[in-house]
Amino acid sequence: MAKVRLLCIITELELGGAQKQLLYTIAHLSENFEIWLVTHDKGILLSDAYEIPGLKLRLIPSLVRPINPLKDLKAFFSLYNFIKKEKFHIVHTHSSKAGILGRWAAKLAGVPVIFHTIHGFAFYEKQNWVVKNLYISLEKLTAKITSRLIAVSQEIIKKGLKAGIGKPLQYQCIYYAIEKDKFFQRKDKSLAVKKLGLKGTIIGTISCLKPQKALQDFIKAAFFVKRKFPEANFLIIGDGYLRSQLERFAIKLKLNGSLLFIGWRKDIAELLASMEIFVLSSLWEGMPVSILEAMASGLPVVATAVDGVREIVVDKKTGFLVTPGDYRALAQSITNLIEDKALSREIGKNAQEFISKGLFEPQKMLGALNNLYQKPISSFN
């Protein structure tokens, strides 16, 4: 019996949660399906994709994250022509840009089943209303041609339905997977500290350097924490087009030397072991893998109360939640944890226990996706 021909589409294979989860899924389901992956021709995880046995890659240089009408049109026709030629049974899109272009290309090419995973909607509170309404309108229209909307958190489903995107029966929540054993046994802190040349209390974040992550708020919070605790040091793991701007901002606040930008790294477990506190300052999130990994490492988390974050961070129990954009509250929560070591240990322990409950087990995610891909086409009509 011929295997189901599955095409996955994602904008770029940067070292983000959505990308890591997609490659993990492909690697573990590649024996069951004939899988193709379409993505941009650059990305730190591209080498990882090439190493997956059986995976076939198609690179489209015009498939870029920023809105670019000429490149977007070129990417759309590249996707349409490729999908039309290969006659896939299922197209599964990931990320907002790839989700819009890929789903319409698949629909017009005659693909019978179209899935889209919502790793996080691109609209949020206090966003420019013209931009926000444009994103919502595009998502509402494209949901009409989508067989199933897969959300990575229950909060995403609520947000989508509230905005009028899709119907309740279209949604299915499939949580991310985390290999918790990699993080439960925390590695020797001194190894990472020696590598980085940092001493004292280390407060860190893992993030793509883009507007969604609001890293200027993390840097502002660092400024206020540093005034009270001169020995504190800060770590930003990740990269992106805002890096030079953020580096200049850190220098302006005289944080150079105590706030390091170290780019994308693959030794995340070791780097998390070097930290005392993990912070995420995002304006919106689907389900941040970085927080799941930090919690599995036994770290107390300080994060903005957005979307899927609220499902995993319970305020004052497994972490601290603050309003998006409130960098002073971010700083105060970090300060509270530095001052109260017993509280910090208790919250870190609670966080690790939450992860140990099994909600994010790999077999749960893989099983749910395998079942979805195996469903008869008629069940989506």
Domain locations in the chain? 5-177+361-380, 181-355
Instruction: Say how far apart CA 230 and CA 200 lie, in whole Å.
Output: 9
Long-range contacts of 104-109 (CB under 8 A, 24+ apart): 104/76, 104/142, 104/145, 105/76, 105/79, 105/80, 106/7, 106/79, 107/145, 108/80, 109/80, 109/83, 109/84
> Two tokens at 21?
């989860």
The CATH classification of domain 181-355, taken from the options 3.40.50.2000, 3.40.190.10, 3.40.50.620, 1.20.1250.20: 3.40.50.2000
User: Please, which residues bridge with residue 116 across strands?
Assistant: 93, 149
pLDDT value at residue 346: 96
pLDDT value at residue 84: 97
Give the H or E element holding residue 245: helix 243-252
- What length is written for the chain? 381
The pTM score is 0.91
Count CB neighbours of 41 within 10 A. 14
The SS3 of residue 262 is: coil
**Pairing relationship of beta strands 319-322 and 202-206 according to DSSP bridges:** unpaired
Q: Got the DSSP string for 51-104?
A: TSTT-EEEE-TT--SS--HHHHHHHHHHHHHHHHHHT-SEEEEESHHHHHHHHH
pLDDT < 50: residue spans in the chain: none
Q: Which CATH architecture is the domain 5-177+361-380 placed in?
A: 3-Layer(aba) Sandwich (3.40)
Torsion, CA 241, CA 304, CA 184, CA 238, rounded to 10: 10
Instruction: Say how far apart CA 220 and CA 214 lie, in whole Å.
Output: 10
> Two tokens at 309?
């974050």
Q: What is the DSSP code (8-state) at residue 2?
A: P
Residues 91/102, Cβ–Cβ less than 8 Å:
yes
pLDDT value at residue 381: 64
The two domains 5-177+361-380 and 181-355 share their CATH topology (first three levels equal):
yes
